[in-house]
Amino acid sequence: MIARFLTVFLLAAVSGAPANGQTRIGLLKYGGGGDWYANPTSLPNLIRFISEKTSLQVFPRAETVEATSPSLFQFHFLHTTGHGNLIFSETERSNLRAYLLNGGFLHIDDNYGLFPYAKKEIQSLFPDRELKKLPASFPAFSVWFPFPAGLPKIHEHDGKPPEAWGIFNGERLILLLTTETDLGDGWEDPEVHQDTPEARLQALKMGANLVIWAVTQ
């Protein structure tokens, strides 16, 4: 555990963190009609969980950011979700490519219905890279909390097993697309979806793993 803490602290410090060493998490706003705002309590709860249950120092507020904003590069981890269409303009694609290829990380979580649109947009974002399906053993899934079976199943949706798809820059994972898991819903306040405490805990632990992996890989 001490070794993990030192790894997180040192690598967060060299990855462009603000002077106070805090990791910044943002909610990426997109066009196309999809509801990027679908889970308003999810990131605040995830940030609180990371602060209380890990040694990673996280800025206490999640902020909404657009891909055209100059503040884009201040975030170490971007998350977005939704049920419908997702479209980036060419300017947004250019900025996101620059952000991701220079140390940023984007997690797109299918809130049921987003996956085909997100997959198509990722192919436009990185036409020269393969969107690879990640195995359950991929180390990001167990970097802090162990998940030997990979992504947890939070909501049933189509009853299919959870899937994770990634874009890499060399060996570094820069974009993660998750589907058939619905982590973001699991991060929300308990009364929103009436998930069991066990399911919410699994979702929060996996979310913490993803953030820690993003800033330490």
**160 Cβ partners below 8 Å, 6+ apart?**
180
Domain boundary assignment for the chain: 2-216
Predicted confidence at residue 20, as pLDDT, reads 59
Q: Read off the pTM.
A: 0.89
Strand pairing report for 172-179 and 163-169: antiparallel
Predicted confidence at residue 152, as pLDDT, reads 96
Please identify every stretch of the chain with a pLDDT value under 70, giving residue numbers as ranges: 1-20
**Listing from the earlier edge strand, what are the strands of the sheet with 25-29?**
63-66, 25-29, 77-82, 106-110, 172-179, 163-169, 132-133
Fold exhibited by the domain 2-216: Rossmann fold (3.40.50)
Smallest CA-to-CA distance from 100 within 124, 78, 82 is with: 78
